[in-house]
Amino acid sequence: MVSRIIPVDAFDLVVFGGTGDLARRKILPALFRRYCAGQMPEGAQVIGAARSEMNDAEFRAFVTEAVEEFNGNFQYSDEDLQGFLSILFYVTLDALGDGGWSELATKMQADRVRVFYFSVGPSLFGPLAERLHTYGMADMNTRIVVEKPFGRDLETSKALNRSLADHFDEHQIYRIDHYLGKETVQNLMAIRFGNMLFEPLWNSQYVDHIQITVSETVGVQGRGDYYDRAGAMRDMVQNHLMQLLCLIAMEPPSRFEPDAVRDEKLKVIRALDPVDPDNIVRGQYSAEGDRAGYLADVGDPHSTTESFIALKLHLSNWRWAGTPFYLRTGKRMRARSSEIAVVFKETPHSIFDEEAGRHRNILTIRLQPNEGIDLDVTIKEPGPGGMRLVDVPLDMTFTEALGPEAEYVPDAYERLIMDVVRGNQTLFMRGDEVEAAWAWTDPIIAGWEERRDKPLPYDTGSSGPVDALALMHRDGRRWREVRS
Ligand code: NAP
């Protein structure tokens, strides 16, 4: 397999919040890896901007540390690093004031793509957009990238959308959800729409149910303040899990183009039924040994925010009526794992005797760890002794199937940032998608507040509260075991 680098023209990329956690851990190391891959053309500039007083040399030292700390096993030479540092600059600037903005404007080169990455809290999105406009940096070549959380309900997300729309067209706004940049998530579309095999079966006639699990082993990790105001529903379900659900459930778009794909995703969100409270289980992790529980982690003994949620959802449309979607996500669980499992129905009739048992095909899309796709198929157990059936996986772990070239899979931020530079919005959320997702989420959260709903405790290292297991057991189904 030959990896293909699509060349791009020289561009200017400004990271507002260039000294922050996200920039240090994800954005700047991702840009460095793209530099090493040869995707930063001659003349490209990366400019960090924040209030901290720093000069270019100090910013380069900051980026050097970030690159050394957050690059995993990625191999690079000192020449690579020095080359990357030479395209880095820094401007001290306040999103809420006027200092630094003229200096930033003078650094912009004419007639080239400008990307402004808003790696700052959402309250600064509007002021940044306004100042880009005021200081003459917002033209048709300008693209802005905004991070989650994109609002905390429908009203705030509408207000955010409006504050950006005052200065930029929708085609200039890239709402990033890094789940959509994962290789396997894009492969989901390749599997569905590049093969004849799956799509005819991809409906309620053949699919018994679909499970989406995103489990983490870590707790709130010093982000208690933010997390306790969000919870698993706002932090994970409204965005990441919803996006995965959309890609699984959407109708085939007419083309692999931004609006064609996003139109279909929007229809999925709009087809979601309101959720019966009996079909939701919320949980909070308990203390274990010397590890504090959720309440101590967030410093509020009365918090009713959930660190775990499981839901059973239904879509009202022809394709999916009658097929439930089970979603769950949580912190401090048994394993770090993200996967989607499409569980097909049993064959309508078994020609084998009872001992052979009844089996089903399961298509598993693994997002982490070990990105890849498995298809469980039923075969005869080898050897004499009659017809005994056994399920074996047709394993498509990318590194094994595609050889050593696939061993380095660019991470989601690398891919998505380069998509912004290329002007491809396919893997970014449109404003109306985000608003539709909040319109579905809001009544669920309002219901908890009205009923003063309290999350159930669950053990660290478990699969969440036992009620989450019951959510499936009562339908005669079970969650797939979470394994790392
Ligand atoms: P952070 O560590 O607090 O960094 C915030 C950055 O914004 C800093 O560089 C800060 O630098 C700068 N800043 C703050 N006020 C400013 C102002 N008035 N003018 C200019 N710059 C200002 O936050 P973060 O974790 O990097 O998160 C950034 C955004 O990404 C947030 O919206 C967050 O929700 C989102 N996000 C973060 C993660 C993550 O893993 N960290 C994941 C997903 C989404 P100065 O103080 O020097 O100005």
- The token pair at 4 is 């293909």
Q: What is the mean pLDDT of residues 342-365?
A: 88
Q: What is the mean pLDDT of residues 333-355?
A: 91
What is the structure's pLDDT at 1? 43
The residue contributing the CA closest to ligand 1 atom 4 is 20
Give me ligand 1 centre to Cα 214, in Å: 25
Active centre residues (catalytic): 240
Sign of CA dihedral 423, 426, 432, 435: negative
pLDDT range class, residue 407, cuts 50, 70, 90: low
Give me ligand 1 centre to Cα 445, in Å: 26
Give me ligand 1 centre to Cα 482, in Å: 32
> CB under 6 Å to ligand 1: residues?
16-23, 50-52, 93-96, 119-122, 124, 147-149
132 is in an annotated binding site: no
What is the structure's pLDDT at 409? 73
Neighbours of 92 (CB within 10 A): 17
Pairing mode, if any, of strands 142-146 and 173-175? parallel
For residue 406, pLDDT over 70 is answered with: no
Neighbours of 255 (CB within 10 A): 10
What is the structure's pLDDT at 21? 94
231 is in an annotated binding site: no
Q: What is the mean pLDDT of residues 238-250?
A: 97
Ramachandran angles phi, psi of 151, nearest 5°: 90, 170
The residue contributing the CA closest to ligand 1 atom 39 is 22
What is the structure's pLDDT at 2? 44
Range name among 15-24, 177-186, 238-247, 381-390 with the lowest pLDDT average: 381-390
Range name among 175-184, 329-338, 463-472 with the lowest pLDDT average: 175-184
Query: 11-147 is classed in which CATH architecture?
Result: 3-Layer(aba) Sandwich (3.40)
The residue contributing the CA closest to ligand 1 atom 7 is 17
178 is in an annotated binding site: yes
Q: What is the mean pLDDT of residues 11-29?
A: 97
pLDDT tens digits for 370-390? 788 889 998 888 888 778 888
269-302 b/e (C-beta count within 10 Å ≥ 16 → b): bbbbeebeeeebbbbbbbeeeeebbbbebbeeee
User: Which homologous superfamily is 180-473 in?
Assistant: Dihydrodipicolinate Reductase; domain 2 (3.30.360.10)
For residue 357, pLDDT over 80 is answered with: no
What is the structure's pLDDT at 404? 62
405 is in an annotated binding site: no
More confident residue, 118 or 377: 118
Give me ligand 1 centre to Cα 147, in Å: 10
* Closest ligand 1 atom, residue 24 Cα: 26
Q: What is the mean pLDDT of residues 13-18?
A: 98
Pocket test for ligand 1, best of 14, 15, 16, 21 (most atoms within 8 A of CB): 21
Give me ligand 1 centre to Cα 88, in Å: 19
Q: What is the mean pLDDT of residues 262-278?
A: 97
17 is in an annotated binding site: yes
* Closest ligand 1 atom, residue 122 Cα: 32
The residue among 209, 242, 477, 202 whose CA lies nearest residue 322 is 209
* Closest ligand 1 atom, residue 96 Cα: 18
Q: Domain residues of the chain, as ranges? A: 11-147, 180-473
pLDDT tens digits for 412-422? 999 999 999 99
* Closest ligand 1 atom, residue 19 Cα: 9
- The token pair at 271 is 């087809």
Give me ligand 1 centre to Cα 120, in Å: 4
pTM, full prediction: 0.94
Report the percent of the chain where pLDDT is more than 90. Answer: 81
The residue contributing the CA closest to ligand 1 atom 32 is 121
pLDDT tens digits for 364-373? 999 888 788 8
pLDDT tens digits for 30-40? 999 999 999 99
pLDDT tens digits for 298-311? 999 999 999 999 99
For residue 240, pLDDT over 60 is answered with: yes
Round the average pLDDT of the chain to a whole number and report it. Answer: 93
216 is in an annotated binding site: yes
For residue 399, pLDDT over 80 is answered with: no
What is the structure's pLDDT at 6? 75
For residue 398, pLDDT over 80 is answered with: no
The residue contributing the CA closest to ligand 1 atom 45 is 51
The residue among 315, 244, 310 whose CA lies nearest residue 277 is 310
What is the structure's pLDDT at 159? 97
Alpha helix segments (H runs only) across 117-153: 125-134
Q: What is the mean pLDDT of residues 336-357?
A: 90
What is the structure's pLDDT at 265? 98
